[in-house]
Amino acid sequence: MARLLPAILALVLSAGSTLFTTGCGGGLSQQMENQKDPETSLIVGHIDMKDGPCWLHWFSMKQVMPKVEKPYYNFRIDEGTFYAEYIPLGSFQLSEFGGAGSWPSNTLYTFRFPQQLEGLRLEKPGIYYIGSFKMTDEGNFFKSKYDIELAKTPSEREALEKILPHAKGTDWEERLRRRLEELK
Amino acid sequence: MKRALVCLLLVSCVPSKRREVDAPSDLGSGEILLVGRIKVTPPIAKDEQRLPGIAEDWRGQVMLFIGETAEPLPRPFKGWDYKNRIEAPPDREFSVAVPASSFSIRGAAVPLKLDEPPTDEAVLPGGFRVEVRPGDRAIYIGTIHYHRDEFWQITKVEVEDDYDRVRADCARRWGASDALRKAVVDVPVKKK
């Protein structure tokens, strides 16, 4: 697994509800599903957005190798934890994440990772925890300057425990339990 | 629409590039001709660049930046940082006029996303020093060859010497009156 470095994020602001709908990745539910392809992996991570302008509402990754017609993968979200159990083998880069500002704001905040950033090479199927990140604001009173940095919490164990209920009734449930046993 | 206009403004405001010249006879006073090449392996794929129509000429090109010192290129990269760029085509040597004094190659940039703000670039490392001698009219610095992975991480940098081929080509175009001096740069030593 490649090392992931904190990125210099690019912030895109937009307004309106149409973009929010598309930005959510088509309204993915939190419930995982069994996959027909046995070569798929479950990717999990967490972003603490407490110091950001919004909560995490969407997260996506882009497949860069092999080249495919639809390279973007949207993730399921549960309070800062993002996860997707349908990621095929290949090389992936973190693409973007964001959320809608709190009511009554209608601003959508999208943070883009630069393309020149270390990514993930999935060479065999499995459960991969890509880490915990924390959003930071190093700006001032007049202008925010957001970035993310690595965080110590939640741990892999805590993140997997959080998504375990969403794997209920699927093959992932047992695989997650086995991984949690290893982490004890 | 608004984003497209902002992008159009951004690209149209990009400062000018270094003057491309074919021969030393086209140089102004206090200038020399700089000849070299930038190669990227694997090459820049079409789907890695999102460029507006106005910047389509930049597709596949690497922007090279020189300066008095080897100050690294900024991140994030802004439109005005393209000032005095050398546009290096993927399939041949560049040939530009530069001031007749020693300089450093600060680095290079590959524009990856210019179709809407914020822009995104891959930055390639520099640190090469080019010594210009009194009496130089044209110098050849070699082919700076960047090897990279699918995440635009640079895995190796090497300098290739194609002087004999380039000199023969220049002699054919310029005649024998102006000599192209070989000044192939060294790969900077990586700081530990």
Residue B189 lies in a domain: no
* Per-residue confidence (pLDDT) for residue A139, from 0 to 100: 79
Mean pLDDT of B99-103: 96
Cross-chain residue pair A114–B120, CB shorter than 8 Å: yes
Residue B188 lies in a domain: no
Query: Residue B121: its chain A contacts at CB < 8 A?
Result: 116
Question: What pTM, to 2 d.p., does this model score?
Answer: 0.85
Mean pLDDT of B157-168: 96
Tell me the residue range of the domain where B24 lies: 2-182
Number of domains in chain B: 1
Q: Is the pLDDT of residue B59 over 80?
A: yes
* Per-residue confidence (pLDDT) for residue A18, from 0 to 100: 40
Residue B164 confidence class, pLDDT cut points 50, 70, 90: very high
Q: Which residues contact A164 (CB under 8 A, 6 or more apart)?
A: A173, A176, A177, A180
Residue B58 confidence class, pLDDT cut points 50, 70, 90: very high
Q: Is the pLDDT of residue B81 over 90?
A: no
- Could you give all domains of chain A from N- to C-terminal order, each with its CATH number? 10-30+40-154 (2.60.40)
Residue B191 lies in a domain: no
Q: Is the pLDDT of residue B43 over 60?
A: yes
Contact A137, A52 (CB under 8 A): yes
As a whole number of angstroms, the distance between CA B122 and CA B153 comes to: 9
Q: Which two tokens stand for residue B172?
A: 């054919």
Instruction: Specify the range with the lowest mean pLDDT, choosing from B13-22, B35-44, B99-108, B126-135.
Output: B13-22
Cross-chain residue pair B76–A93, CB shorter than 8 Å: no
* Per-residue confidence (pLDDT) for residue B152, from 0 to 100: 96
Tell me the DSSP string of chain B.
-HHHHHHHHHHHTPPPPPPB-SSGGG--TTEEEEEEEEEEESPPPGGG-B--GGGGGGTT-EEEEEESS-PPPPSS--GGGGTT-EEE-TTS-EEEEEESS-EEEEEEEEEEE-SSSSPEEEEEEEEEEEPPPTT-SEEEEEEEEEEE-TT--EEEEEEE--HHHHHHHHHHHH-SSS--EE-PPPPPPPP-
For residue B50, the chain A residue with the least C-alpha distance is A115
Specify the higher pLDDT residue, A1 or B113. B113
Tell me the DSSP string of chain A.
-PPPPP--PEEEEEESHHHHHHHTTTT--S-----S-TT-EEEEEEEE-TTSSB---EEEEEEEES--SS-EEE-EEETTEEEEEEE-SEEEEEEEEEEEBSTT--EEEEEE--SSS--EEE-S-SEEEEEEEEEEE---SS---EEEEEES-S-HHHHHHHHGGGGTTSHHHHHHHHHHHHH-
* Per-residue confidence (pLDDT) for residue A103, from 0 to 100: 75
* Per-residue confidence (pLDDT) for residue A98, from 0 to 100: 92
Shortest alpha-carbon distance between residue A64 and chain B (Å):
7
Cross-chain residue pair B123–A93, CB shorter than 8 Å: no
* Per-residue confidence (pLDDT) for residue B5, from 0 to 100: 52
Could you list the mean pLDDT of each consecutive 10-residue stretch along chain A, which spans 184 residues?
A: 50 53 61 94 96 92 94 96 97 93 82 91 96 88 83 95 97 96 92
Cross-chain residue pair A91–B47, CB shorter than 8 Å: no
Q: Looking at the complex, does the CB of residue B80 fall below 8 Å from at least one CB of chain A?
A: no
**B13-29 pLDDT, tens per residue?**
667 889 999 999 999 99
Q: How many whole angstroms from its chain centre is CA A147?
A: 15
* Per-residue confidence (pLDDT) for residue B83, from 0 to 100: 87
Q: Looking at the complex, does the CB of residue B115 fall below 8 Å from at least one CB of chain A?
A: no
Cross-chain residue pair B118–A67, CB shorter than 8 Å: no
Q: Is the pLDDT of residue B8 over 60?
A: no
Query: Residue B151: its chain A contacts at CB < 8 A?
Result: 2, 64, 91, 93, 115-119
